[in-house]
Amino acid sequence: MIRFKLKIVFLILMASMVGLDLGVSHAQRDIGPIYVTPGLTTYGIVVRSDDDLARGLLNRAMTAHGAYRVETSMSKASFALTIRMVSETAAQIIISSGVPEQEQYRETVVGQSKRKAILKAIDVAVRKTSGLPGFFSGKIAYVGEYQGRPELFAVDFFFGEGYRLTLDRADIVSPSWSPDGNYVLYTSFKSGYANIHRMDMRQQRYIVLAKFNGTNTSPRYSPQGDRIAMVLTGGGNADIFVGSSNPSQLRLRNVTKSRGEEVAPCWSRDGSQLIFSSDIGTGVQLYLSSAFGGGMRRIPTDISRYCTEPDWNHANPDLIAFTVGVSDSFQIATYSFKERRSRFATSEAGDAVQPQWLNDGRHLLYTKRTANQRRIVLFDTMTSHRFQLSPNSIGNASEASFLPPR
């Protein structure tokens, strides 16, 4: 019984550290591609709008991104970005450059709300001026607080429009979006045990997906959405299992059968491999295996004796991000398979944990953790620019799962 309780504590610690936009966009005017000068660290941007909400969100996005700096004059800027509201749910982005200014591009996008339309327009501006996919019209599921207890929430990227998904009044960990945005997986202790739930975002109802003996934690959808990886302890220790995402055909299969504790699985882009952490060797390290089982190989991160919470970069599969123990804190590091080398990404005061790549392959979300606070941070791995996304007014927020724009 003591060993079983210790395993539950271990898994909880590891896990706590690891409405769809249906608008249709259409081009209003396209006078050719915009060419971005390579090699620049940041691009000067002038932001404009007659609409207060649009101007505020555009300024916030350009400040948060890391590839831009907001200027007041075109003499110091590469582009001017103007958002004009065409209707309550349609926003037009206009991109200009030069002195005197010349219009380079304009496009109108439609969202389910005014705010959603504005965020979609900002993503167009990011794509046209940087060549990178935008992410500001994506969504975030996270563990927050309601009446002093952890609950699951879903919000837009700047924590504006959103809602509470659960009223479990119990610990919740490890949310994970399905690729189509229809479901969120998470582990809830609502029943007194660690069971995996699946929330249907369309009906706002959940089912219990996995409630086997022991603990059921760390659920993660495959990139194709057809399978789920999870951690189960019913066999005596924590192993990785994979099964169908169809609840009626779960058919779980062991991926690992080691003497150690394997936790925090993440998928390769093609769904053929998994990376996870295990204590089978010296300390806690990252391991790679086929998603169909057949052995595990240690990834030579060689940066810390404690490496966990991996996340594989699907835009650049050469990179993974993960949490490392450093002296008396935790920080985020990245590892390159080609270079066989790890690098520290963060140097937070306190802890930086629970990294997750965004769809542009450049940015991460992570949780900044201190003794009394948890905040979700946007981090640019190219410039090391960091921006706190979750406002202090909502209290603790952690374990962000990101759903890219669709």
CATH number for the domain spanning 353: value is 2.120.10.30
Kindly state the DSSP code that residue 76 receives in the 8-state scheme: G
Amino acid at 281: G
Tally the domains of the chain. Answer: 2
User: Based on the domain organization, do 91 and 116 belong to the same domain?
Assistant: yes
Same domain, 17 and 36: no
Question: Which helix (DSSP H) or strand (DSSP E) does residue 65 occupy?
Answer: helix 52-65
Judgement on whether residues 253 and 112 belong to the same structural domain of the protein: no
Question: Measuring CA to CA, which residue among 73, 124, 135 is closest to residue 101?
Answer: 73
In this structure, the answer to whether residues 59 and 154 fall within a common structural domain is: no
Same domain, 17 and 60: no
pLDDT, residue 96, reads 98
Strand order in the sheet with 351-357: 351-357, 363-369, 374-380, 386-388
pLDDT in tens, the chain (406 residues): 333 333 443 444 444 443 323 232 333 333 334 444 444 478 999 999 999 999 999 999 999 999 999 999 999 999 999 999 999 999 999 999 999 999 999 999 999 999 999 999 999 999 999 999 999 999 999 999 999 999 999 999 999 999 999 999 999 999 999 999 999 999 999 999 999 999 999 999 999 999 999 999 999 999 999 999 999 999 889 999 999 999 999 999 999 999 999 999 999 999 999 999 999 998 999 999 999 998 999 999 999 999 999 999 999 999 999 999 998 899 999 999 999 999 999 999 999 999 999 999 999 999 999 999 999 999 999 999 999 999 999 999 999 999 999 8
* 143 and 90 within one domain: no
Question: Which residues are paired to 319 by β-bridges?
Answer: 336
The β-bridge relationship of strands 253-254 and 386-388 is unpaired
**Nearest residue to 66 (alpha-carbon basis) of 367, 345, 395:** 345
| Alpha carbon distance 197, 184 (integer Å) | 8
Domain boundary among 130, 165, 183: 130
With a CB cutoff of 8 Å and minimum separation 6, the contacts of 94 are 81, 82, 83, 84, 103, 105, 106
The last residue of a domain, from among 130, 163, 197: 130
Pair (161, 304) in one structural domain: yes
C-alpha closest to that of 230 among 244, 245, 240, 215:
240
Beta pairing class for 68-70 and 43-48: parallel
- What pLDDT is attached to residue 235? 84
Q: Which residues, 6+ apart, have CB-to-CB distance to 301 below 8 Å?
A: 285, 286, 307, 322, 324, 333, 335, 342
Same domain, 14 and 32: no
Same domain, 200 and 109: no
The reply to whether 36 and 52 lie within a common domain is yes
Instruction: Identify the domain boundary among 130, 156, 176.
Output: 130
Residue 10 CB contacts under 8 Å (≥ 6 apart), including other chains: 238, 261, 263
Are residues 296 and 277 both part of a single domain? yes
Whether residues 182 and 46 fall in one domain: no
Task: Show the domain range for 93.
Answer: 26-130
